[in-house]
Amino acid sequence: MVGVDTIIKDFQFERYMNLLLINGPNLNLVGKREPSIYGSQTLDDIQDELLNLANELDVRLQFFQSNSESEMINCIHKSDGSIDGILINAGAYTHTSIALRDALLGVAIPFVEVHLSNIYSREKFRHKSFLSDKALGLVSGFGPISYQLALQGIVSYLKRV
Ligand code: DQA
């Protein structure tokens, strides 16, 4: 049901900020996958908490997870024109995918790179990110809190521009 606040906002043409969280390969397994690195909260748990934060911040947040690089790219393309900011944990594609980098640059939507683990304290092959230098910011190593910090960061940034 549409609340009074929504009607007032739409009436005043003050559009809600629309954000999208994209999670890449194997992040659907979080909670059961290598819990000593990624923790015991599931992706659903993490997303539920994020929704609460999004409500507090008065922004709209949508979720997308895929193990497929092409689906992630299509999702980024479809965001063009409707999404104001993207949070992305590209999983292992962070370290390999020029195609994801090109897609994000192609739509020119500001994005924050997110990781549960600190990628710089792990194996050397995780130290390379094809996204970091083009990201608004990078949050890595705080477990599920990484997503919350990234959400707070992008909302603060977008409210100022
Ligand atoms: C990850 C780190 C990546 O190196 C890894 O491939 C992942 C998860 C993280 O959230 O810490 O799948 O992005």
User: pTM for the complete prediction?
Assistant: 0.92
Instruction: Report whether 113 contacts 138 (CB < 8 A).
Output: yes
CA 108, CA 42: separation in Å to the nearest integer?
30
Give residue 15's pLDDT: 78
Give residue 161's pLDDT: 83
Query: What are the 10-residue block averages of pLDDT along the chain, 161 residues in total?
Result: 55 79 98 96 98 98 98 98 98 98 98 98 98 98 98 96 83
Q: Ligand 1 centre and the CA of 80: distance in Å?
A: 25
Tokens for 119? Answer: 């990628």
Give residue 98's pLDDT: 98
- Our mutation pick for probing the ligand 1 site, out of 34, 67, 112, 119, counting the most ligand atoms within 8 A of Cβ, is 119
- Our mutation pick for probing the ligand 1 site, out of 116, 120, 121, 128, counting the most ligand atoms within 8 A of Cβ, is 116
